[in-house]
Amino acid sequence: MIETKLTVSNQLGLHARATAKLVQLLAPAQSACTLIAKGREVNAKSIMGVMLLAAGLGTEVLFRADGPDEHEVSAAVADLFNRKFDEEQ
DSSP per position, 5-63 = EEE--STT-S-HHHHHHHHHHHTT--SEEEEEETTEEEETT-HHHHHHT---TT-EEEE
Query: Which residue in the list 2, 4, 9, 15 is annotated as catalytic?
Result: 15
User: Catalytic site residue 71?
Assistant: no
- Which one-letter DSSP state was computed for residue 66? E
Distance CA 63, CA 42 (A): 10
First to last CA, the chain: 34
Q: List, by residue number, the catalytic residues.
A: 15
